Chains A and B, each alone.
Chain A
Amino acid sequence: MSMPESPSTFSRGDAEDWLYHEAELLDQWRLHDWLDLFTDDATYHVPDGIDDSPAPVRAALINDDRVRLEERVWRLVTGPAHAQIPRSTTRRLISNVRVAGAEDDVLVTSNFLVHEIRKGQERSFVGQYRHRLSPAPDGWKVAARTALLQNSVLPLFNVSIII
């Protein structure tokens, strides 16, 4: 993992290492460790795919602040959420990584493909991540994480994994 001593040199390789680490935590269902990647005022956003309305107020698929994100993890890990009995397994592929740098935070965009297997069926979710990362003493933390989920234009059966 990349350390914050040299933020201006946060490279594509650093971003890839960070994203692979995150993907591994999610695939291993280590959701509390994943939560530790977020700052206290972090947000996690998954907009509705058809977002072409000029309305000032929109409903999203997910619009979590830190508190709701913790509730989400509690529900999936401890709950137990019915929609996760039995549990899903996932495998994530991350590609097309780009870094737009700044001194004290960076915007990392990437494409994702998440395969989910549950109850004898396979599904996949595809889209783009936008991670705004900021440096902290113990590594780069997520200030804002957005998943532009292309599947969201479809009617979806329960999405009870972290996208």
Chain B
Amino acid sequence: MNLDELLLPDRVHRRLYTDPAIYDEEMRTLFRRAWVYVGHESEVRNVGDYKRAKIGSEPVILVRGEDEAVRVLVNRCLHRGSLVCREEKGNGKFFRCPYHAWTYRNNGDLMGVPKRSRYPRDFDLGGLGLVNVPRVESYRGLVFACFDDGIEPLVEYLGPVRDYVDATLDFSLSGEIDLSAGVSRHRYPGNWKLQMENGVDGYHTAFVHETYIGIMSRAEEVELKFGSHGEDQGWTETFPRGHAVLARRADPRAIDVLREQFPEYTSALEAKHGSERLLEILAHMNVFVFPNLFLIGHQIRVVQPVSVDETEVMMYPYLLTDAPEALNRKRMAEHEGFYPPTGFGTPDDYEVFSAVTEGLQAMSTPWLLLNRGAHDCQDLGDGVRRGSPTDEIHQRGMYAEYARLVGSDQGGGA
């Protein structure tokens, strides 16, 4: 698709948020050419565990087979199209289609077709297994899948954003996390890219989250959380492949504050990583892995497009494996305070997305401006560029990758 008139280096056209044809093109190209996050290994810990997910609009099943391998199968019967798996998650050895009972092993192989004698003897059922998404790889338990067989290995795709993913997950002493604590489910009337842009947007915080900041400023930890809010205390970075981060340095007192409450855990973290790295681990980071994954706060956030102006977002507040239960409880309470549909933060974001969606009906005014800080950013090499925390450098980076995937006619689409 030619995007020349819709995407300039410093601005985006309203049609990217309103035109169903562009949405279809994104499903056909972007979500099939990128590594898309589909779930966490802790969600399919045991043989036979499965969980439904989507790659763009394509329904899939993340499943651990009898051979312990994690696969991503397309959730679509080869006969006449029904889902073969209707539960959100579960455990089983096979998937039986509800329509005519074609039955598939959990590695995708077709194992049985009822009343087979009415098919010609030479009709080959051998090739009619559930489609296996050709590439599946994971990084630190985060499982990604890609329909494009030619994509680079996941670690290369992640590139330098890996350091921020590591820093986030290294707050777990064992390095492991667990998604069994539940999920905040959201749906907002607006395009999925509004969430993509906003998850690392440092410009809106003071305005959209005024009430949350008002509430926090009455609490004790405000200095640590918001004291370093100034332009000089944080930064944004854009990485190759559209990944991004919004980060604020931790207050140097953060380690001591943590130690007061969780002395042993803090000492163990310090011994493992050293205090300098521990401060980096305690920094406030919103990490974005293009196109659909965020690590924000204590949560893994998945952005799921539904239609051009409808989006679902799942936020999984995760537990730190081997951390004191009180620490995990504290983190869940912090999650509950801001993020659920009933929280003090996210509802204001999604209210604004809804306002943007209505505003973009204005055909008289087609452009959304993303030029903030464009005159003044730092090149750190290897495709990494840094700006001030309220800049839009990283959103510009996302759209550069977007243009590469959507605005070309390379293969990988359907």
A interface SS class: loop
A-B residue pair count with CB separations less than 8 angstroms: 115
Tell which of A51, A57, A62 touches B325, judged by Cβ atoms closer than 8 Å.
Answer: A57
Q: Are B336 and A158 in contact (CB under 8 A)?
A: no
Set of chain A residues within 8 Å of B351, measured between Cβ atoms: 82-83, 85, 158
Contact of B347 among A50, A58, A158 (CB under 8 A): A158
Residues of A within 8 A of B215 (CB): 71, 74-75
Flag if B182 contacts A157 (CB, 8 Å). Answer: no
Contact A59 B348 (CB under 8 A): no
A110 to chain B, nearest CB (A): 20
CA distance A81 to B214 in the complex (A): 11
Task: With both chains docked as a complex, state the minimum distance between the C-beta of A59 and any C-beta of chain B, in angstroms.
Answer: 4
A59 touches B344 (CB 8 A): no
- Closest residue of chain A to B315 (Cβ to Cβ) is A59
Chain A residue with Cβ nearest B355? A82
Let me know if B208 is at the binding interface, CB within 8 A: yes
Binary CB contact string for chain A from 140 to 160 against chain B (1 if under 8 A, 0 otherwise): 000000000000111111111
Q: Are the CB atoms of A60 and B344 closer together than 8 Å? A: no
Residues of A with C-beta under 8 A to B341: 61, 156-159
Query: Total interface residues on B, using CB and 8 Å?
Result: 43
At the interface, yes or no: A6 with Cβ under 8 Å from chain B? no
Complex Cα distance, B215 from A160, in Å, reads 16
**Residues B347 and A160 in contact, CB atoms below 8 Å apart:** yes
B348-A61 in contact (CB<8A): no
A63 adjacent to chain B (CB < 8 Å): yes
Task: Specify which chain B residues have a CB less than 8 angstroms from the CB of A155 in the assembled complex.
Answer: 185-187, 312-314
Q: Is A53 an interface residue (CB 8 A)?
A: yes
Check if B181 sits within 8 Å of A59, measured CB to CB: yes
Which of A54, A68, A156 neighbours the largest number of chain B CB atoms within 10 Å of its CB? A156
Which of B52-60, B69-77, B230-238, B326-334 forms part of the interface with chain A? B326-334
| Interface: B131 (CB within 8 A) | no
Given A156-B187, A158-B350: A57 and B332 interface contact (C-beta under 8 Å): yes
Bound-state Cα–Cα, A155 to B184, Å: 8
A137 an interface residue at 8 Å Cβ cutoff? Answer: no
Indicate if B356 sits at the interface (CB-CB under 8 A).
no
Of B214, B329, B337, the residue contacting A57 (CB under 8 A) is: B329
Can you name 7 A-B residue pairings with CB atoms under 8 Å? A48-B183, A55-B178, A57-B181, A82-B351, A155-B185, A155-B186, A158-B188
Q: Which residues of B contact A (CB under 8 A)?
A: 88, 178, 180-189, 208, 210-212, 214-215, 218, 312-314, 317, 319, 325, 328-329, 332-333, 335-337, 340-342, 344, 346-348, 350-352, 354
Give me the interface of A with B, judged by CB distance under 8 Å.
Answer: 46, 48, 50-51, 53-63, 68, 71-72, 74-75, 79-83, 85, 152-160, 163
**Other than the known A57-B325, A68-B337, A81-B347, what 6 A-B pairs have Cβ atoms closer than 8 Å?**
A53-B182, A82-B211, A153-B185, A157-B341, A157-B354, A158-B188
